[in-house]
Amino acid sequence: MSRAPQPAEAASFPRSPCPLASTLDLVGDKWTLLVVRDLCFGKRLFREFAESAEGIPSNILAERLKRLERAGLIEKRPYQTSPVRYEYRLTAKGRDLLPALRALAEWGNKHIPGTWPLPGVDGGRG
Amino acid sequence: MSRAPQPAEAASFPRSPCPLASTLDLVGDKWTLLVVRDLCFGKRLFREFAESAEGIPSNILAERLKRLERAGLIEKRPYQTSPVRYEYRLTAKGRDLLPALRALAEWGNKHIPGTWPLPGVDGGRG
DNA sequence: TGTTGTGACTTGTTTTTTGCAAGTGAGAAG
DNA sequence: CTTCTCACTTGCAAAAAACAAGTCACAACA
Choose, out of B15, B16, B20, the residue to mutate when testing the contact with A (most A CBs < 10 Å): B20
With 60 as the cut, is the pLDDT of residue B90 above it? yes
User: Residue B17: is the preceding peptide bond cis (ω within 30°)?
Assistant: no
β-partners of residue A76 are A88
- Residue A44 phi/psi, 5° resolution? -140, -20
Interface contact flag, A20 B33, Cβ < 8 Å: yes
The confidence band for B14, taking pLDDT boundaries of 50, 70 and 90, is confident
Cβ–Cβ gap B23/A96 under 8 Å: no
Q: How far is the CA of B82 from the C1' of D1 (A)?
A: 21
Burial of A21 (0-12, 13-18, 19+ CB in 10 A): buried
Q: Which nucleotides of C are covered by protein (CB under 7 A)?
A: 7-12, 16-22, 26-28
Stated pTM of the model: 0.90
DSSP three-state, residue B78: strand
CA-based nearest distance B97→chain A, Å: 7
Which pLDDT does position A65 carry in this prediction?
98
B13 touches chain A (CB under 8 A): no
Is residue A31 over pLDDT 60?
Answer: yes
* A60–chain B Cβ distance below 8 A for any pair: no
Q: Is the pLDDT of residue B124 over 60?
A: no
**Mean pLDDT value across residues B56-77:** 98
Asked if residue B95 lies in contact with residue B39, where contact means CB atoms within 8 angstroms, the answer is: no
Our measurement of the distance from residue A59's CA atom to the centroid of its chain's CA atoms, rounded to an integer in Å, reads 14
In whole angstroms, D8 C1' to B23 CA is 27
Decide if A28 and B25 are in contact by the 8 Å CB cutoff.
no
Best mutation site among A18, A93, A98 for testing chain B: the one with the most B CBs within 10 Å?
A18
Q: How confident is the prediction for chain B on average, in pLDDT?
A: 89
Nearest CA-CA partner of A113 in B19, B12, B33, B94: B19
Closest CB to B112 among A23, A33, A101:
A23
pLDDT for position B123: 60
Tell me whether residues A14 and B55 touch, CB distance under 8 A: no
A34-63: per-residue pLDDT in tens?
999 999 999 999 999 999 999 999 999 999
Give the Cα-Cα-Cα angle B1, A42, A93 (nearest 5 degrees): 115
Please give the mean pLDDT across all residues of chain A. 89
| Residues near A42 by beta carbon (within 8 Å), at least 6 away in sequence | A122, A124
Cβ–Cβ contact A91 with B under 8 A: no
Q: Which of B96, B99, B108 sits opposite A22 (nearest CB)?
A: B108
Q: Alpha-carbon distance B109 to B8, whole Å?
A: 34
Quick one: pLDDT at residue B51? 96
Provide the CA A1 to C1' C23 distance, Å, integer.
44
**Residue A91: which pLDDT band, with cuts at 50, 70 and 90?**
very high
Return the DSSP state at B84: T
- Residue B123, judged by CB atoms within 10 A of its CB (0-12, 13-18, 19+), counts as exposed
Q: What share of chain A is helix, strand, coil (3-state, %, to 5)?
A: 45, 10, 45
- Residues B102, B123: Cα–Cα separation, whole Å: 16
Contacts of A100 (CB under 8 A, 6+ apart): A23, B100, B103, B104, B106, B107
